[in-house]
Structure 1
Amino acid sequence: MAVSMRDLDPAFQGAGQKAGTEIWRIENFRPVPVTKSSHGKFFTGDSYTTALKSGALRHDIHYWLGKDTSQDEAGAAAVKTVELDAALGGRAVQYREIQGHETEKFLSYFKPCIIPQEGGVASGFKHVQEEEHKIRLFVCRGKHVVHVPFARSSLNHDDIFILDTKSKIFQFNGSNSSIQERAKTLEVVQYIKDTYHDGKCEVAAIEDGKLMADADTGEFWGFFGGFAPLPRKTASDEDKPVGSYPAKLLSVEKGQAKPVETDSLTRELLDTNKCYVLDCGFEVFVWMGRNTSLDERKSASGAAEELIRGSDRPKSQIIRIIEGFETVLFKSKFEFWPQTTNVAVTEDGRSKVAALLRRQGLNVKGLAKAAPVKEEPQPYIDCTGNLQKKRYLMVVRLKIYCHSKLSKS
């Protein structure tokens, strides 16, 4: 795909040239850079496109949608993410992140968590000032920290909760919670103390089921009108197991997704000149052929968004993939996928990559005339990145290929 920078948003010019995280907030449908001091601070009324550079050649990009963001702003974030991918070389895997239902991969970039604040630019809200402290109740489930209604009915015996008040932070440990969960929540408590209280408030641990007559326990239950037995936790839609969903392949033409009639999913069904949507229920993949235009890729992304809106699946994940850079998870959805696939790399593309590597001080001799890159299957790596030997804190992650490997390709 040949793309001119004139086709891309000016905000993305120079993106990815320096190591580190880059984040843009969507304001009036345009990406506006977020200062480094505000990285990790998200607002519920906003949408963001995030990126990070730590090497060369391969990326992950995430666009995050707050629960109060408008549909138009969310659509703008999706489109701008496609443009950002083009600006970075067109090889990225792109993830749609919904507030409260973020992927483990995305959450692993922000330590120990993200806690979105009320407000936003796109919605016309005013960002909440730090001095306007309101009592907040959070439930902690692994890396997910979710703001829940400040009410006794939100509490249960299975989870761990954080009650954030002006002068004290309470950690309520459900009687059925594990030691590991409690230790993780303590990190979040410390983060809230440092971020929202300048490290100057008290911290208290409240044990569920232990009716000790101490001041902290009495103070905690006082915020809820006094102690009373907690109700049993009711199963929500999030707790219900996801049933099997037969994968459906759709071809996207002129913004319309049409089913592909087939008895089995194979690699041969994917045409390099087209874009496709693979609907797997909770996961919706957008596969973009290398010969497709920027507009066609934007159109395919819009078709995927429309698909989940029309089927009332707002929490489904959308993962966008470029031909030749498919993930192991995507390949696993097919009954047959070749062990080795040739990824066509144009001479123009090689020269651009070579120039990028030279700026980073790497030896690129022989790269410009290298043979097509062969992408071998890789062992499965989960969303947390725990199986990787090296782990980078980023929102777009690039894998570094040294000269010795490039010369063999």
Structure 2
Amino acid sequence: MSISMKNLDPAFRGAGQKDGLEIWRIENFKPVPVPTSSHGKFYMGDSYIILKTTALKNGSFRHDIHYWLGKDTSQDEAGTAAILTVELDAALGGRAVQYRESQGNETEKLLSYFRPCIMPQPGGVASGFNHVEVNEQEHVTRLYVCRGKHVVHVKEVPFARSSLNHDDIFILDTKSKIFQFNGSNSCIQERGKALEVVQYIKDTFHEGKCEVAAVEDGKLMADAEAGEFWALFGGFAPLPRKTASEETGEETEAAVKLLCFNQGQLEPIGFESLTHDLLETNKCYLLDCGAQMYVWMGRTTSLQQRKGASEAAEKLLTGDSRTKSHVMKMIEGYETVTFKSKFNEWPPTPDLKLSSEDGRGKVAALLKSQGLDVKGLMKSAPVTEEPESYIDCTGHLQVWRVNGNAKTLLASSEQSKFYTGDCYIFQYTYTGEDKEECLIGTWFGNKSVEEERVAAISLASKMVQAAKFQATMLAFMKGKNQFSSLSYFRVSKCLRVVLALDTRNSLLKMVWMMIVTLKLD
């Protein structure tokens, strides 16, 4: 179902018709366009809608819609943003995936739009705060933690020694100097990204006029800049090491729940096996997977049903205080690979596209039946295109360690730390040319046991089957190929990926070329 642009809020009219970003802030329950010069400037008390339009080679557009909620935004503003994204998607054809973004827990896809980072400022419309220009504020010493090798998550933490650790990079912003504290376990890619954030803070909050210093974890007071840094915390003292439970950083997978939106209420649906048959095209559903929640909207549902389901998902997250859960909303027929992989059964999507030769032949036959000359119509010059690399490292990476016949999900901070005695499974989903693509693979340490290698292959194969064979499967082993770590997913300078179309079976084949060898822990 779609709605006319004429029935859409005037601020949205003409949206999504050109490549690039468009942003609106919610003011008095209405979307107000944000000028291009202010893109990337977010206030903690506001809610925003972000539309990313990508022009495809065939002349059409792909749309991704995000709504960002500041930590101090009102529930009314958040609900309005959630509903308006549904209207905007419907006006654009109902094909976009909609992402809920909360301050401090943004997706890497959203962060990739704003380089080098997003640093929300105090203020907001509904909160009653005024939007104050940063250069007019009295400078307050702030401590930030930076995480990420490709896109950077920047979060303000309490200005205290207890906030520091050995694994992350911290930026201490004082009135006259900016310090970058590099944890001893941080990598060079993370340090490089954090340095970009330091430069951004210097240009944005200090008008480019302040000193910058780097402090290495472990350096004592003998180093002048390290001494100055530690003096701000009351003097140097060793940072504590993580406990064994903290080191593992393991996350457990939550039980999957399916809820149907019916007459304004969410009703749980019991099932023994999660299959596609549970979804009815005239209803909306919420698939709750803990860290991720999916809102599925049937093709024949009304706009009011979709708005209601979106609002219900927002209330559910707020009521349960699940600020870190990601929400993706999608229309029937345009489901993502990650959503389909949650189901034990999902019917194959029919390929309705005609090849250029088939289409040309049918047009020629039609014109010939009308007595028109079709000479030369069936001839066409072969088109040769250089394969492009369009994995931009902004997708979603999950890594599991194999334990016997089961797998354990690793925390993001542990994804690049592999051990030679273990086996791992990874899944990487990213946006392709016109749909979501998925890579599922295994990595074997050269000291791993045969039983766990067999279990890893079996578990990965089941994941491919759950994705209805819409995923490309890869297998790596330390010492038997040019890859030494999964870090390459997040380091674009270290890897070039070329995608080529296999004309025999219309599956994407992956040709991987490693530029540098990454060191394994």
> Match for residue 89 of structure 1?
93
Asked whether the equivalents of residues 65 and 97 of structure 2 are also in contact (C-alpha less than 8 Å), the reply is yes
3-state secondary structure, aligned to 2:26:
strand
Deviations 1:300-336 (A, max 9, x none): 1112122223333222111101111000000000001
Correspondence 1:383 to 2:396: yes
3-state secondary structure, aligned to 2:212:
strand
Which residue of 61, 72, 77 maps to 2:76? 72
Correspondence 1:61 to 2:65: yes
> Match for residue 137 of structure 1?
143
**Aligned partners of 1:165 and 1:343: how far apart in 2?**
59
After superposition, the Cα gap between the structure-2 partners of 1:388 and 1:51, relative to the gap in structure 1 and judged at 3 Å, is closer
Give the AA of the match of 2:85. T
283-292 vs 124-133, which moves further? 124-133
**Aligned partners of 2:35 and 2:45: how far apart in 1?**
18
- CA shift for structure 1 position 212: 4.6
**Aligned partners of 2:215 and 2:283: how far apart in 1?**
57
Correspondence 1:304 to 2:313: yes
Asked whether the equivalents of residues 246 and 280 of structure 1 are also in contact (C-alpha less than 8 Å), the reply is yes
3-state secondary structure, aligned to 1:26:
strand
**Aligned partners of 2:344 and 2:52: how far apart in 1?**
34
Asked whether the equivalents of residues 255 and 302 of structure 1 are also in contact (C-alpha less than 8 Å), the reply is no
Asked whether the equivalents of residues 16 and 53 of structure 1 are also in contact (C-alpha less than 8 Å), the reply is yes
After superposition, the Cα gap between the structure-2 partners of 1:21 and 1:146, relative to the gap in structure 1 and judged at 3 Å, is same
> Match for residue 298 of structure 2?
289
> Match for residue 117 of structure 2?
113
After superposition, the Cα gap between the structure-2 partners of 1:66 and 1:135, relative to the gap in structure 1 and judged at 3 Å, is same
Which residue of 187, 212, 228 maps to 1:203? 212
Deviations 1:50-83 (A, max 9, x none): 0122223432111111111111111111111111
Look at both structures and tell me which one has the larger radius of gyration over its CA atoms.
2
> Match for residue 378 of structure 2?
none
Query: Aligned pairs, how many?
Result: 357
Give the AA of the match of 2:142. R
Deviations 1:251-287 (A, max 9, x none): 1112211122322122222111111111111111100
Asked whether the equivalents of residues 6 and 13 of structure 2 are also in contact (C-alpha less than 8 Å), the reply is no
Alignment of 1:137-216 (within 5 A): 137-142=143-148, 143-216=152-225
Give the AA of the match of 1:157. H
Asked whether the equivalents of residues 261 and 284 of structure 2 are also in contact (C-alpha less than 8 Å), the reply is yes
**Aligned partners of 2:64 and 2:311: how far apart in 1?**
19
Alignment of 1:2-401 (within 5 A): 2-5=2-5, 7-55=7-55, 56-131=60-135, 132=137, 133-142=139-148, 143-232=152-241, 240-341=249-350, 382-383=395-396
Q: Which runs of 5+ in 2 are unaligned?
A: 354-390, 398-427, 435-521
Give the AA of the match of 1:321. M
**Aligned partners of 1:28 and 1:72: how far apart in 2?**
9
> Match for residue 362 of structure 1?
none
4-13 vs 261-270, which moves further? 4-13
Q: Which has the higher contact order (CA 8 A, sep 6+)?
A: 1
**Aligned partners of 1:82 and 1:231: how far apart in 2?**
47
**Aligned partners of 2:177 and 2:352: how far apart in 1?**
56
> Match for residue 358 of structure 1?
none
After superposition, the Cα gap between the structure-2 partners of 1:154 and 1:101, relative to the gap in structure 1 and judged at 3 Å, is same
3-state secondary structure, aligned to 2:196:
helix
3-state secondary structure, aligned to 1:241:
coil
Moved over 6 A (4+): 234-237, 384-391
- CA shift for structure 1 position 42: 0.9
Asked whether the equivalents of residues 109 and 394 of structure 2 are also in contact (C-alpha less than 8 Å), the reply is no
**Aligned partners of 2:309 and 2:430: how far apart in 1?**
32
**Aligned partners of 2:118 and 2:244: how far apart in 1?**
25
Q: Which runs of 5+ in 1 are unaligned?
A: 345-378, 392-409
- CA shift for structure 1 position 382: 2.9
Deviations 1:72-116 (A, max 9, x none): 111111111111112222111001011111111111221121111
Give the AA of the match of 1:173. N
After superposition, the Cα gap between the structure-2 partners of 1:274 and 1:389, relative to the gap in structure 1 and judged at 3 Å, is closer
Give the AA of the match of 2:114. F
**Aligned partners of 1:236 and 1:309: how far apart in 2?**
29
Q: As a proportion of its length, which structure holds more strand?
A: 2
Give the AA of the match of 1:175. S
321-330 vs 149-158, which moves further? 149-158
**Aligned partners of 1:275 and 1:343: how far apart in 2?**
25
Asked whether the equivalents of residues 16 and 63 of structure 2 are also in contact (C-alpha less than 8 Å), the reply is no
Asked whether the equivalents of residues 139 and 147 of structure 1 are also in contact (C-alpha less than 8 Å), the reply is yes
Asked whether the equivalents of residues 324 and 342 of structure 1 are also in contact (C-alpha less than 8 Å), the reply is no
**Aligned partners of 1:48 and 1:97: how far apart in 2?**
9
Give the AA of the match of 1:13. R
